[in-house]
Structure 1
């Protein structure tokens, strides 16, 4: 555990115990030559302790994650009674400005880690994050959303057989924990290789802020800080309404026809095999195809697009659970 010395040196700045400071995570100017200030908010207690890093906005269109970290800062949850909290609400500032998932060079930041000092723009941002910020963290929580109109139930994603992450996931208290492999060149993969425990939170969809998703993320962050002895005593910690459902296997139900789509089942719902999930119609009233559940499970993702094509993912359903 990094209980650091009295002075934290980060991005050329020095932050003493008990200090608050904003440091600038700048990599490049805009094409207009305008400088971009990308603040990282660092709050240090007078009492030494672990360092927690909250990140969001790896994908520029995933604004709900940004909102979660914003609330942690606005409400003062990031002011620890021991240790240090580092908040990075927006990593991909270039995508966020344009409300696009990727960088201007077309690259997905979450597929270029650990990056390169002299590589593409996305690669340079990844490299700076890994070399300048991550080494200071003991724990990382990275907030994401679903993409392309697909709404994710609030969930954590961790690798299987990692008891530390499983324990932290239980503390966080999201409704679902999905076992998923670390993807090549992703932020999660590189942090794992560096021995930095990372919880990846998914919830909601791109270009959208949902109150339930936001509250789940904020409350989960508070529980983690409380568990680590870092949460200020002025904040209360709620108990999750339900125990986490750990998911070992899940499957997408895909559209068998193209057409106008409407889901009739809500996110988080438990369905039985044969239950009606939604329907696909044509614009002329000649066809009405009913989408039904192939097996029983929980709905953890719903496609909210009004128009779908054959083969599009419609519903993500849990298939094998672990209690």
Structure 2
């Protein structure tokens, strides 16, 4: 199990890392059916000064490129070299899925529904178990980066449990456009963090199999603000100014397509719409059908289905509910 001893020496995956040292550790999770070892690179940067341990992860779902890009930029810019404490970056947790641009593991299981895992379980469960036992215990704070699934584009948001004032404060410091109160999913990574008493911010932004510069910018700047708040951002980095107050979403609902057809979205993600406002058109391919989609309530659009073709009943907009 990971630990820091009385001399401030970090032991992680049987590797000892002294204060001021850097390390790249390969987390050997499993082998392919060809017996080829699959390794998950872990980048560790330590200051000479003691301080918190921040664990930054992306790619728990293998096709969520925005999260990978946010962690990659954090490393490439040198932001992961702390003024105090330790920063551990894992850009791609689910290397198996990343190789094939798939959300799940090769066994078809969603890693983010397998925590805390099992020593003798299926592949995804074993990886979750090793991660929970050998990496997560050392963290004081966790930042986990995700995107919307399939063609559903999430507005940049931090998801937290309602009633946790420490997380609410950290979420406001991160300063994504939205803070969404979201119940913790059973067997998720976030749930394991909470059970171990690790404050965790879950970032959602963009859609899978897509890289979005604006979403990546929001994520990287949010990391800077959190690290600055913890006293871990070096002086050669300026803290991005917070130009807005994050909007808190306490409840939300999905609008669904009344008809099958081609979807033409007419409003930008994140917009506040009024009930009855014209927000999209559904058409057929032949020019004989045209249906105006109107907002069913007043609220913010926090997710848009960007698929050009939808079926009746498909979720097309995620809209907040007014109190």
* Helix, strand or coil at the partner of 2:163: coil
8 A contact 2:177–2:245 mirrored in 1: yes
Give yes or no for contact 1:177–1:246 (8 Å, CA) kept in 2.
yes
- Judge conservation of contact 1:4–1:48 (CA < 8 Å) in 2: no
Deviation of 1:320 (Å): 3.2
Match of 1:38 among 31, 35, 40: 40
- Which of 268, 271, 274 is the matching residue for 2:270? 268
**What SS does the corresponding residue of 1:27 show, helix, strand or coil?**
strand
For each residue in 1:85-104, what CA deviation from the matched residue of structure 2 results, as whole angstroms up to 9, or x when unmatched?
00010111100001000000
State the 1:273 CA deviation. 1.1
Q: Which residue of 1 aligns with 2:209?
A: 207
Residues 3, 50 of structure 1: 8 Å contact kept: no
Shift in alpha-carbon separation, 1:156–1:293, aligned structure 2, 3 A: same
Partner Cα distance (2:120, 2:114) in 1: 13
| Cross-structure match for 1:101 | 103
Structure 1 CA distance for aligned equivalents of residues 297 and 9 of structure 2: 56
Aligned residue runs from structure 1 range 13-162, under 5 A: 13-162=15-164
- What is the rounded CA distance, in whole Å, between the counterparts of 1:239 and 1:288 in structure 2? 44
**2:235 equivalent in structure 1:** 233
1:4 shift after superposition? 5.7
Offset at residue 174 of structure 1 (A): 0.5
Distance in 1 of aligned mates of 2:105 and 2:236: 39
Alignment partner for residue 200 of structure 2, among 192, 198, 201?
A: 198
Contact 2:298/2:322 (<8 A) preserved? no
Q: Distance in 2 between matches of 1:283 and 1:93?
A: 39
Cα deviation per residue 1:158-195 (whole Å; 9 max; x = unaligned)?
00000110011011000000001011111111110110
- Residue 287 of structure 2 corresponds to 285
Contact 2:47 / 2:86 at 8 angstroms: preserved in 1?
yes
Instruction: Name the SS for the 1:145 alignment partner.
Output: strand
Q: Which runs of 5+ in 2 are unaligned?
A: none
Deviation of residue 203 (structure 1)? 0.1
Work out the CA distance in 2 between the residues paired with 1:199 and 1:17: 26
Q: In 2, are the aligned partners of 1:60 and 1:96 still within 8 Å (CA)?
A: yes
What's the offset of the Cα at 1:295?
Answer: 1.3
Q: 1:183 aligns with which of 185, 190, 199?
A: 185
Q: Which runs of 4+ in 1 moved over 4 A?
A: none
TM-score of the pair, normalised by structure 2: 0.97
TM-score by length of 1: 0.97
Question: Which 5+ residue runs of structure 1 have no aligned equivalent?
Answer: none
Q: Please give the alpha-carbon distance, in whole angstroms, between the structure 1 residues aligned to 2:34 and 2:279.
A: 48
User: How far, CA to CA, are the matches of 2:60 and 2:120 in structure 1?
Assistant: 20
Q: Distance in 1 between matches of 2:295 and 2:81?
A: 46
Secondary structure, counterpart of 1:73 in structure 2 = helix
Once the two structures are TM-superposed, the CA of residue 198 in structure 1 deviates from its matched residue by: 0.4
Q: SS at the partner of 1:157?
A: strand
Q: CA RMSD in A?
A: 1.1
Indicate if the aligned counterparts of 1:3 and 1:83 stay in contact, CA closer than 8 A.
Answer: no
1:8 to 4, 10, 14: 10
1:33 shift after superposition: 2.1
What is the SS of the residue equivalent to 2:297?
Answer: coil
SS of equivalent to 2:148: coil
